[in-house]
Amino acid sequence: MEIPFLNLAKQNKKLADDILPIWKEILESARFIGGEHVTSFESEFAVACGANHCATVGSGTDALRLILISLGLKPGDEVITVPNTFIGTTEAITQAGGSIRFVDIDPLTYNLSPAKLAETLATLSPEAKKKIKGIVPVHLYGQMADMDEILSIAREHNFWVVEDASQAHLAEYKKRKAGSIGTAAAFSFYPGKNLGAGGEAGAVVSNNKDLVRSIQILRDHGQEKKHLHQTEGYNSRCDALQAALLRIKLKQLVTWNKGRQKNAGIYFQSLKNVKGIFLPTVREDRTHVFHLFIIQVSHRDKTIELLKERGIQCGLHYPIPLHLQKAYSRLNLGPKSFPVTEKIAKRIISLPMYPELEKEQIEYICDTLSEMVV
């Protein structure tokens, strides 16, 4: 049996009759930038996230970068985040002019550890703390970070909190949606996300109207009106084709997330008694939307080889922590700097996970994994 890690073609085929007429309309009108589909999607996505405002941009990385610029980040300022994330998180910090301060993760949820955050801050001098302006918790793999604890620490130190929600579309924490809790949130609509475009796109969601207005100006070359440039900005607009597609897919997102949760349940049931496999931990006070289904195994290379032999594609998210990447050698953070992240990075495997995945396929994957000798 051949099982792809992701099957976007199957999803898109089901929606083709809805997507193609609207795309044809946009092509014939030649209204590619801005317009009804962009503004309507912004309103609809803000409502879906339980927030007041939304501004679409060119990518999830742009969304986070423009938030940080709008918050006034400047050289010498530091932002706390985790080393267990995609580099887009940290690129946004440095490209906005700031510096990165890593904090280790919780070993069960893989998100920023509030305990490690408090511990790190306790070791810093008053001068060092003054450099820190904010925290970017990453809602990794589809489960939100411990936001109440993080926000409490942030308030104590007068930090802002910006959610990296690129993998957590409609995930919930204590019945509050991703994007509705922090100062603002960055979302990615990369095609493989729970809500994916037909190319690159992203969005900023916030209850702060002035912040979102700043991003609307920055995304369009710094102009509030045509030819009136308040500042130098960026070319980071979501086009009408992507927005129209996202509007159609947004209507399916709740159903798709439930499909992911159902498939996760099959994985849990089938693998719960398999020795040597560490399953995801889902906190009782939150809703996991399973952008990815991550397991830990002791013999990863052998496990991956066995899965490959049986026609099962899998992924690694993320095998080399950011502090050990050449791109951040300037930080002088060697091995053992963040032991939890480093341990997990050697053990994780991302199994196939998408709403269209069939029960028989998941059972085949689980049967294959049960053959591994621990």
pLDDT in tens, 248-304: 999 999 999 999 999 999 999 999 999 999 999 999 999 999 999 999 999 999 999
- CB-CB contact of 275 with 374 (8 Å): yes
pLDDT at 372 exceeding the cut of 90? no
> What mean pLDDT value characterizes the chain?
97
Backbone angles phi, psi at 91, to 5 degrees: -55, -45
148-159 pLDDT, tens digit each: 999 999 999 999
DSSP H helices, 173-299, are 209-218, 240-250, 253-271
Q: What is the mean pLDDT of residues 62-74?
A: 98
What is the average per-residue pLDDT within 179-185? 98
Whether 195 contacts 248, CB under 8 Å: no
pLDDT band at residue 373 under the 50/70/90 scheme: low
The three-state secondary structure class of 73 is: coil
Model-level pTM? 0.97
Query: What is the rounded CA–CA span in Å between residue 334 and residue 310?
Result: 37
The residue-averaged pLDDT of 57-72 equals 98
Residues 166, 65: Cα–Cα separation, whole Å: 13
- The three-class DSSP label of residue 170 is coil
For residue 294, give the 3-state DSSP assignment.
Answer: strand
In this prediction, residue 36 carries a pLDDT of 96
How far is residue 78's CA from residue 80's CA, in Å, rounded to a whole number?
7
Q: Is the pLDDT of residue 374 over 60?
A: no
Query: For 301-350, what is each residue's pLDDT tens digit?
Result: 999 999 999 999 999 999 999 999 999 999 999 999 999 999 999 999 99
Backbone CA torsion sign across 140, 144, 149, 151: positive
Are the C-beta atoms of 142 and 288 separated by less than 8 Å?
yes
